[in-house]
Amino acid sequence: MPDEKTLTRIANPTADDLAKEFREHSVAEFFKKNKQMLGLSGKTKALTTIIHEYITNSLDACENANILPEIEVHIKELEAEHYEVTVADNGPGLTRETVGKAFGQLLAGTKFHRLMQMRGQQGIGASGATMLSQMTTGKEIHVITGNDKEVISCDLSIDAKYNQPKVHNIKILTRKFRGTIVKAEFKEMKYVNNEQGPLEYVRRTAIANPHAKLTFTDPSGQTIAFERTAKTIPDKPEEVKPHPRGVTVDELLNLAKYTQARRTNSFLKIELDRMGDTAVKEVGEKVSFDLNKDPHALSWREIEEMVKAFKDITFIAPRTDALRPIGEEQIKRSLQTIVEPEFLSVVTRKPQVSEGGYPFQVEVSVCYGGKAGRRVGDEMRIEIMRFANRAPLLFDTGGCGITEAVKTVEWKRYGIRDSETAPLTVFVNLISVHIPYTGAGKQAISNDEEIVEEIRLALMESGRKTARYIISKEHERLKQEKKRIYMKYAIEVAIGLGELIEKDPKPIEHKLLETVAKRLKLDEQQEKKMEAQTDEDLEKELERLNKEDKKKGKAKKPAENEEGGEE
Amino acid sequence: MVDTKTKDKEVIKKLEGLGEQVYKQINQGANPTVALPVRSLGNIFFDQKSRTIKLGDKMSERQFLNIAHTRKFMQTMLVANEIKKVIHENATVSIRDLYYALKHTIEGTNENTFENQDESDPLIEDLEASLNLLREELHLAASAKGIISGPMVVKDGNDTIDLTRMGSGGWSVPSNVEEDRIEIKKMEADYVLFIEKDAVWRRFNEDKFWKKNNCIIITGRGQAARGERRLVQRLNKEHKLPIYALMDADPWGMYIYSVIKQGSISLSYSEEKLATPDTKYIGLTVGDVETFKIPKEVTIKLNQLDIKRLNELQSYEWFKHKKWQAEFDLMKQKNIKMELEALSKKGIRFITETYLPQKIKEEDFLP
């Protein structure tokens, strides 16, 4: 994907200078050239990206209309590397007027510049998918959409030269339907069922959106349904104004272009967060021009001066109340249903503000045992589920700050001996109005130190809970093991002793078993009392249990060295 | 001599006493525990008066409710009961017999009560030490290992045996050589030669060394078992015979010598009955290499294990004599050890015709 600056220019024909240049190229040309930049290189990735675009649109539409989303995805293989994708939702539906914009105008949204916790920050949009269908098959896409007033069907394509939708064949349907169904064909793609395939995308979307019901039918005709585990629609994310500390010159220039304000001082107060009279006054003292100036006339250099001035002024930290985490309870339920681990813990950290002035928050979960982890052939591998604002990140795993955070946690300290091959699923959702993606593909977050550290802290906290679980499980196992050992020897002791002192062995055995039970109960109470709190305690306890296991192994000697006399 | 029956009753009483004590603990709901003397280097000392190794008074507890002890606790009960049975039946069994008698699969498991004899042997020693009883009093016999020949006659039960008429094989020393079992009818030897190795003993026997030198030759075939040690003690005490030990010049031979002389660590509780403090070390020594002009090429370089063992020996209380310390130092300094067979380099009869007579004549011994 081109950087935001370029996109903004493309998206805004009024942004004079570059827009002219842009108009001279066809949108399709641009699209072809930049295909790999937009995350469409790779036949698997292309298909997953298309699914992502449609699902994101559907989820956003449903949530905006306060509807619990129900989305069906169907991929049909028409011939080799040729698929028909159908996505149906129960959203509010589109109108004759809006359907064209939604599916037939590239980069039409204004969302590229809004500071808001959005899942649709990456990718090409549903119109990009239309373009791609057109480019690879020459066909139009087919849409059925029903709102409260009417249900229509139409065929749709993009006039690449003018970036305008072409809607044909509009029919009014008599059936009752509310929602949108889009059906499109694509070539030069490949459906695979792996960690980066469409099914995994849908699965992870279901995990991060417990209020949505998702159904997926793969090319072999198999349908998998991910039921919703929550019945509340998440609160709508709020749009927040840029904080002076985080705003870039380019962003401020853009804000200045479209502002309603007539003077720079009111422009600053209206468009920026935490900008009060005192701060404006301070800015005025630091810049070389009069803040009564019309903001529409500000030059790049003047804006640069202001941004520089902001760095020397103390502002209240940005608001964090615009962040919308999924929530511990919901994450827990959804992971329990979809991942089915033996044990899981969820940790939501408090919101933080980055150096750059953006609020962010981290939610993680460590799932252990059961069906957690990823099966590769006969082996287990750690599964790392990365999310940015609830949207799954499936690509660029290696270069992602989330992966980095997971890899640098010393899992051994939490009772997980070999994290690479442990039955472990690690869930990480980074929430921010401004996700620091690496590069244009927006499939990985940058190795930002503050964010990586925050994720690490969350994982360690969750890891401690896992360690406690592993320890208590190990305690229980050892207790059972001890009980078994004492019991089998108690019988022998009773027989041997009974014979030695000429007494009935039964009461002896009975009394011994009583004592065993009493002792084990005492041990348990002792262990509870000493419950480990700190990392070091946990580590020590894990080590102790390890040793105890070994000692027990030694107590039973192997049958060797048959010859044995004295000395 | 104590009447056997009375002794047996006393032993059974002690074994039952142990059981009663455990029974009482069980009834009180306590953790069943037996106290046992610690039988390791940390709890033994060299008693200057008796000149033997003795067991100290440190005790350890073997508990049923301790995952590391529980199997041994169970086994201790079984061993005690089995010994009582053997005494009841008025039999004497080998410690290997006992092991097999005790071995059975624990109900509902695929585990045996004892997996090998290494598990039962130390428990017998534990009982001997804690009840202060001799193995013979428990009606147990260790496997017989030693062989003996020479001018003496013994009565073993109803058989009278002349030890000059035992052919090339010698008489096999029984495990129990107490007076009530083995009676020494006639003794004409001047001294006893205790030889470390079976092969060397056979050469001496073939040469009729005992006849030419009027001595008893005996071997424990490596580490000496209780039978031959007890017999040697009797020959020394009852017949005032000097005991000379002929060993390899290495830490292992020297340790075997010290066991004959002062006793071993694991049997420290009954060494007064087994050790012969008058035993003298006739050879080999590293000093012999020069005295007898033994060619260098038949000596062997010390390895890491030898040096480690040598250092341990040097630290033992009963090896503190300055002559021994000097020998160890010399061994380390020359960095060599030597086997008895090495003397064959000087001629096949060198050891019997030159080496030993000269050593004995000049009383060139180590204490």
Q: Is residue A405 within 8 Å of A447, Cβ to Cβ?
A: no
Considering only CB atoms, which chain B residues are within 8 Å of A511?
26-27, 29
Question: What is the structure's pLDDT at A31?
Answer: 66
Which residues of chain B have a CB within 8 Å of the CB of A514? 29
Instruction: Extract the tokens encoding A351.
Output: 């919101």
Residues 126-145 of B with CB under 8 A from A: 142-143, 145
Size of interface A-B (CB pairs under 8 A): 125
User: pLDDT at residue A441 above 70?
Assistant: no
Q: Is the pLDDT of residue A24 over 70?
A: no
Confidence of residue A560 (pLDDT cuts 50, 70, 90): very low
Helical spans, DSSP H, in B54-171: 70-88, 95-102, 117-131
Answer for the pair A92, A67: CB distance below 8 angstroms, yes or no. yes
Out of A552, A562, A565, closest to residue B116 by CB: A562
Contact residues on chain A for B118, CB-CB shorter than 8 A? 557, 561, 564
Query: What is the C-alpha separation between B275 and A388, in angstroms, rounded?
Result: 82
Per-residue model confidence (pLDDT) at position A561: 32
When pLDDT is cut at 50, 70 and 90, the band that residue B276 belongs to is: very high
B108 close contact with A: CB closer than 8 A? yes
Least Cα separation, residue B267 to chain A (angstroms):
9
The CA distance from B270 to the nearest CA of chain A, in Å, is: 13
Q: Which amino acid is at A102?
A: A
**pLDDT above 70 for A350:** yes
Q: Which residues of A touch B110 (CB under 8 A)?
A: none
Distance from CA of A468 to the nearest CA of B (A): 23
DSSP A534: S
Percent of chain B with pLDDT over 70: 99
Please tell me which of A34-38, A133-137, A472-476, B240-244 the model is most confident about, judged by mean pLDDT. Answer: B240-244
Cβ pair B23, A499 in contact under 8 A: no
Please tell me the least confidently modeled range out of A112-121, A447-456, B77-86. A112-121
Better-scored residue on pLDDT, A114 or A103: A103
Contact assignment for B111 to A566 by CB distance below 8 Å? no
DSSP labels, A344-369: EEEEEPPPEE-TTS-EEEEEEEEEES
Give the span between the Cα atoms of A268 and A275, in whole angstroms: 7
Write the residue in B19, B109, B118 that is nearest to A501 by C-beta: B19
B-chain residues near A564 (CB < 8 A): 116-118, 121
A432 close to A349: Cβ distance less than 8 angstroms = no
pLDDT > 90 fraction of chain A, expressed in percent and rounded: 52
pLDDT of amino acid A1 = 38
Contacts of A556 in chain B (CB under 8 A): 71, 111, 115
The pLDDT of residue A36 is 59
Gap from B15 CA to chain A (nearest CA, Å): 8
Over the stretch A409-432, which tens digit does the pLDDT of each residue have?
Answer: 989 888 888 888 889 999 999 999
**What would the mean pLDDT of B98-119 be, rounded to a whole number?**
92
**Residue A524 pLDDT greater than 90, yes or no:** no
Residues 73 to 92 of B: which have CB under 8 A from any A CB?
A: 73-74, 77-78, 80-81, 84-85
Instruction: Report chain A residues whose CB lies below 8 A from the CB of B176.
Output: none
Q: What is the pLDDT of residue A562?
A: 30
List the one residue out of B257, B333, B319, B245 whose CA is nearest residue B289: B333
Under 8 Å between Cβ of B71 and B297 = no
Beta-carbon separation of B77 and A500 below 8 A: yes
The type of residue at A474 is: E
Residue B150 near residue B171 (C-beta atoms within 8 A): no
Identify the DSSP state of B348.
Answer: T
Nearest to B80 among A500, A512, A560 (CB): A500
Per-residue pLDDT, A118: 63
A496 vs B81, B116, B264: nearest CB: B81
Q: Would you call A486 and B70 a contact, using CB atoms and an 8 Å cutoff?
A: yes
Whether B70 and chain A come into contact, CB under 8 Å, resolves to yes
Distance CA A465, CA A459 (A): 10
Hey, which residues does B243 pair with through a beta bridge?
Answer: B192
pLDDT at A566: 34
| Residue from A491, A497, A502, A506 whose CB has the most chain B CBs within 10 Å, to mutate | A497
- The angle subtended at Cα A86 by Cα A82 and Cα A92, nearest 5°, is 155
Cα atoms in the Cβ-side hemisphere of radius 13 Å centred on B351: 23
Confidence of residue A357 (pLDDT cuts 50, 70, 90): confident
Q: How far is CA A417 from CA A410, A467, A543, in A?
A: 10, 11, 11
DSSP code, position A70: E
Look at A482 and B67 and tell me if their CB atoms are within 8 Å. Answer: yes
Interface residue B107 vs chain A (CB under 8 A): yes
Nearest-CA distance B112 → chain A (Å): 10
Residues 6+ apart with CB under 8 A from A120: A56, A57, A60, A111, A391
Nearest to B122 by CA among B208, B26, B38, B219: B38
Supply the pLDDT for residue A417: 80
Residue A564, pLDDT > 70, answer no
pLDDT (0 to 100) of residue B329: 95
pTM over 0.80: no
Q: How far is CA A27 from CA A13, A39, A160, in A?
A: 13, 17, 5
Residues of B in contact with A490 (CB under 8 A): 64
- Is A512 in contact with B64 (Cβ distance < 8 A)? yes
User: For residue A560, which phi and psi values (nearest 5 degrees)?
Assistant: -145, 175
Mean pLDDT of A388-405: 91
Dihedral angle of Cα B175, B178, B179, B185, to the nearest 10 degrees? 30
Which of the residue ranges A4-8, A237-241, B278-282 has the most confident prediction, judged by mean pLDDT?
B278-282
Give the H/E segment covering residue B212: helix B209-212
B143 to A565: CB separation less than 8 angstroms, yes or no: yes
- In this prediction, residues A370-381 reach a mean pLDDT of 88
Of B71, B109, B118, the CB nearest to A561: B118
Give the residue on B whose Cα is nearest the Cα of A518: B29
Distance separating alpha carbons of residues B298 and A391, to the nearest angstrom = 82
Per the CB < 8 A criterion, the answer to whether A290 and A265 are in contact is no
Two tokens, residue B128: 């001997």
Of A198-212, A309-323, B81-95, which range is least confident?
A309-323
Is the CB of residue A352 less than 8 Å from the CB of residue A454? yes
A12 compared with B245, residue with greater pLDDT? B245
Average pLDDT over residues B136-158: 89
The better pLDDT of the pair A117, B97 is held by B97
Residue B1 in this model has a pLDDT that exceeds 60? no
Which positions 233-262 of B are in contact with A (Cβ < 8 Å)? 259
pLDDT at position A547, please?
73
**Chain A residues touching B39 at Cβ < 8 A:** none
- Environment class of A523 (CB within 10 Å of its CB; exposed 0-12, middle 13-18, buried 19+): middle
Of all residues in chain B, the percent with pLDDT exceeding 90 is: 72
Predicted confidence band of residue B281 (pLDDT cuts 50, 70, 90): very high
pLDDT at A104: 87
- Phi and psi at A19, nearest 5°, equal -60, -40
| Residue A559 confidence (pLDDT) | 36
pLDDT category of residue A32 using cuts at 50, 70 and 90: low
- Three-point CA angle A315, A316, A319, nearest 5°: 130
- Integer angstrom CA distances of residue B57 from B37, B43, B113, B255, B264: 7, 7, 30, 24, 17
**Any A CB within 8 A of B97 CB:** no
Mean pLDDT of chain A: 84
Q: Give the pLDDT mean for B285-310.
A: 93
Give the active site residues of B.
100
Reported confidence tier of residue A5, pLDDT bands at 50, 70, 90: very low
Q: To the nearest whole number, what is the mean pLDDT of chain B?
A: 92
CA pair distance B67, B44, nearest whole angstrom: 27
Confidence of residue A27 (pLDDT cuts 50, 70, 90): low
Query: Taking a contact as any Cβ pair under 8 Å apart, which residues of chain B between 198 and 227 contact chain A?
Result: 223, 225-226
- Contact between chains at B71 and A489 (C-beta distance less than 8 A): yes
Name the residue among B72, B117, B34, B46 with its Cα closest to residue B268.
B46
3-state secondary structure of A553: helix
**Contact check, Cβ <8 Å, B23/A514:** no
- Asked if B64's CB is within 8 angstroms of A493's CB, the reply is yes
Return the pLDDT at A23: 45
Enumerate the residues of chain B whose CB falls inside 8 A of the CB of residue A497: 19, 22-23, 26, 77, 81
Residue A144 has pLDDT above 70, yes or no: yes
Question: A404 vs A344, A351, A460, CA distance in Å?
Answer: 21, 21, 14
For A512, which residue in chain B has the nearest alpha carbon? Answer: B26
**Do the Cβ atoms of A489 and B84 come within 8 Å?**
no
Query: Rounded distance, CA B181 to CA A154, Å?
Result: 116
| Segment A195-204 mean pLDDT | 94
In the predicted model, is pLDDT for residue A110 greater than 70? Answer: no
Question: Residue A136 carries which side chain, given as an amino acid letter?
Answer: T
